[in-house]
Amino acid sequence: MEDNSHWGGTEDTIDDPEEKKVICCALDSYLQYAKVAHFNVTHLRRQSFYALPQAQWQMLAKPPFHFLDTLDKTDDAIDANAELARAIASNGLRSFHMTGSGSGSSSEGTCTAGDDAEPVMPREWQGVAKHTDIDKARSTLRQFYRDWTAEGAAERAASFAPVFRAAEQQRERCQRPSPPDADSDAEADADADADGRLKVLVPGAGLGRLVFDLCRMGFDAEGNEISYHQLLASAYVLNCTQRAGQHTIYPWIHSFSNHLTRRNHLRGYAVPDLHPATELALTPAAGEMSMCAADFLCLYSDENHEALYDVVATVFFLDTAPNLIRYLEAIFHCLKPGGILVNVGPLLWHFENHAPGNHGRDDDGDGEHDYNNSSGIADPGSFELADDEVMALVETLGFVVESRETGVEAPYIQDADSMLRTIYRASTWVARKPAPS
């Protein structure tokens, strides 16, 4: 892996004032994580604890409860999470050449462990992160459990296995020798790059684990992500961690509810479960890997991405669409003839009751959308479909559905020992872009 933490699509964003603000809010949110978590999780609980009648709080402070000890251990766990948060922020600051005066300029653009240098935000951007930004930082830290711990392997398998299976079948199809009398159209259906590797696009790549695993399988895998919280975290774990188990995260400490035991509440997990650079170095047939920071609709609908990918893998992604028609049109556009879309996920429509754009209205009031001036997912208009309607839309837009399974149990950042479990019953399907006849 390259020794840097830059992503395609970010070259000019730091010069855009609005984009720079988004980036700085994400960076600052990681730096504020510890302060906010300590206040919300333990400080307020200590206040409530000591507000009890003295006899009651004294009873709870003793064995077998040790409630004050629990709060101390929770603070330690927050500090451990904050070490990872600071490492992510430190690497991001260097990547965007924004490191404040507290860090040496010689490390700009390079990866560091994050433990030997305290990240410093430029003064004008300190404290800009809002509640929603800090909440995203917290949820991203929790997501490391799913993507980059050994214990999260079961979750990954439930969501990734259909993608691996479909991608392998597509590779076999593309590598199958054509009959001697095959015409050019049939050859186009079996088109693969000259090096024999298929190109796989993963929109909504998150922390990059699916992209990484596909790369290890010998695919050229490209991840796309719009969230800088996710991009900052994936850049750090993929490019800059120095060893397996470098960090320990405590994903369950932010809530005191539904724990069978205090031990489980305070359980830590090693991150990452493997060292990405070492694993790829030991995989001679590994493909190329890249991450792109961009609005999926704006980037992949352009001419440069037309008919470029053999596989598009959407895992917990399609329901992030305010306008699913545009998502599917963009996917159809960037797939090669004969390429496949493999989908895994529920339908938790992210924009339900919160239409994007100008409160659900187009700017000029004519009800028309100008595709030449697309603002991506921020375009006005939003709708939500049931799963059977999604399948009908997929076919209406020109795909051929080849397989479909519903009710696939797919947990998402789920504590297996919790007294409360949320399991998605995902829809999994493969749809092909027809080759010319």
Looking at the predicted structure, is the pLDDT value of residue 162 above 50? yes
Question: Inter-axis angle of helices 131-148 and 209-216, to 10 degrees?
Answer: 30
pLDDT digits (tens, 9 = 90+) for 183-198: 544 444 445 554 689 9
**Rounded CA gap, 239 and 207, in Å?**
12
- Mean pLDDT for 171-186 is 67
pLDDT digits (tens, 9 = 90+) for 232-290: 999 999 999 999 999 999 999 999 999 999 999 999 999 999 999 999 999 999 999 99
Which SS3 state, helix, strand or coil, does residue 154 take?
A: helix
pLDDT digits (tens, 9 = 90+) for 371-430: 556 778 888 889 999 999 999 999 999 999 999 999 999 999 999 999 999 999 999 999
Number of alpha carbons in the 13 Å side-chain half-sphere of residue 288: 8
pLDDT digits (tens, 9 = 90+) for 5-42: 345 554 455 678 888 999 999 999 999 999 999 999 99
Give the count of beta carbons closer than 10 Å to the beta carbon of residue 381: 17
What percentage of the chain carries pLDDT values higher than 70? 84
pLDDT digits (tens, 9 = 90+) for 34-90: 999 999 999 999 999 999 999 999 999 999 999 999 999 999 999 999 999 999 999
Domain boundaries, the chain: 17-99+127-176+194-433
Looking at the predicted structure, is the pLDDT value of residue 309 above 50? yes
Looking at the predicted structure, is the pLDDT value of residue 118 above 70? no
Considering only CA atoms, which of 35, 21, 125 is closest in space to residue 81?
A: 35
The confidence band for 106, taking pLDDT boundaries of 50, 70 and 90, is very low
Tell me which of 171-180, 193-202, 364-373 is least confident: 364-373
Q: Which CATH architecture has domain 17-99+127-176+194-433?
A: 3-Layer(aba) Sandwich (3.40)
The confidence band for 304, taking pLDDT boundaries of 50, 70 and 90, is very high
Q: Report cis status (omega within 30 of 0) of the bond before 162.
A: no
Tell me which of 98-102, 280-284, 321-325 is least confident: 98-102
Give the count of beta carbons closer than 10 Å to the beta carbon of residue 406: 12
**Rounded CA gap, 430 and 317, in Å?**
15
pLDDT digits (tens, 9 = 90+) for 379-396: 888 999 999 999 999 999
| pLDDT computed for residue 105 by the predictor | 37
Q: Which residue(s) pair with 431 in the sheet? A: 341, 401
